[in-house]
Structure formats: C-alpha cells, structure tokens
Amino acid sequence: MGAGDQQNPSCHEARELLLELLDGNPTAARANEIRHALSACPECWGHLTAELEVRGLVRECCGQVHAPEQLRQRIITSLTTTTVSVTRYRIQP
C-alpha cells in the first residue's frame, strides 16, 4: 500500500464504480474520486462518457415534454402494426 501510488482499478471494479457514480448518488468528492479512477482506463472512461451522454439525452427528452397519452398509443399502435405485417410477410410462401 504505497502512499500516493494509486493502483488502477480492474475493469470489473471500474464497472462497479461506474454504477455507483450513475446510480449510487455519490457525494461530489466521491464522484471525483470515481471519475479519476475510471479515467485510468480509456475503455472504461469511454463507457462512462457514453453512458452519461445517453442518460443526459433521456433526461432532456423526458424532462422537456411529458409524452402525451395519445402519442404513446400511436407508438404502441404503430409497433403492433409493424409486428403484424412482418408476421404476415413471413407466413407468405
């Protein structure tokens, strides 16, 4: 345990840290620590930024407009229609 000699976390640990950062509601200091640890591995850092981007987009979308029930129904209907037509297409000889 060398002082100041921080070991890079394994990718498995990094995954846990990532989840803690995103869902664990860490303090600012802890969040900083986690970001620092993740930045040691480019791959894990990529996961983090991608995840943050996606969540940011989702939050933006859902925060701005509450999907109206009509739209929801329309989406469900169009999804159902697509499934039905695909099924019919497959049944055709």
Catalog residues that contact Zn ion under the rule CB under 5 A.
Answer: 11, 14, 41, 43-44
CB of 89 to Zn ion, least distance (A): 43
SS (H, E, C) the chain: CCCCCCCCCCHHHHHHHHHHHHHCCCCHHHHHHHHHHHCCCHHHHHHHHHHHHHHHHHHHHHHHCCCCHHHHHHHHHHHHHHHHHHHHHHHCC
Residue 21 CB, nearest approach to Zn ion (Å) = 14
Q: Between 12 and 66, name the residue whose CB sits nearer to Zn ion.
A: 12
Nearer to Zn ion, 12 or 90 (CB): 12
